[in-house]
Amino acid sequence: MLIFYSIEQAEEKLKNFANSLEYLKINLSYLIKTGNPYLEIIKAADEMNVSLILMGHKGYNLTEELLLGSTAEKVARKSRRPVLLVK
């Protein structure tokens, strides 16, 4: 299922999420980009010099995976940074 948000809606949702985690006292930041998702994730990770890319991965069936691939899988294969995929 795809959900489309405007950039403003996405920013509001991310801001609310970040605010809900303030009590954990963690350094949390977010970035909104447009473009090819896996390329933008890799580029942002390199620009921010992150030590790890953490991504959720929804398991597709084999046919969907072969035809479409997944953003998480492409990031894991093409990034020079360590990637942790969580189901």
What are the pLDDT digits (tens) for 34-50? Answer: 899 999 999 999 999 99
Contacts of 86 (CB under 8 A, 6+ apart): 54, 55, 56, 57
Estimate the crossing angle of helix 71-78 against helix 37-48, to 10 degrees: 50
pLDDT digits (tens, 9 = 90+) for 19-30: 898 899 887 778
Contact 87, 60 (CB under 8 A): no
End-to-end Cα spacing for the chain: 16
Task: Kindly report the pTM of this predicted structure.
Answer: 0.72
Does residue 63 surpass a pLDDT of 70?
no
Domains of the chain: 7-86 (3.40.50.620)
pLDDT band at 73 (very low <50, low <70, confident <90, very high): confident
* Residue 3: pLDDT band with limits 50, 70, 90: low
State both tokens at 54.
Answer: 């953490």
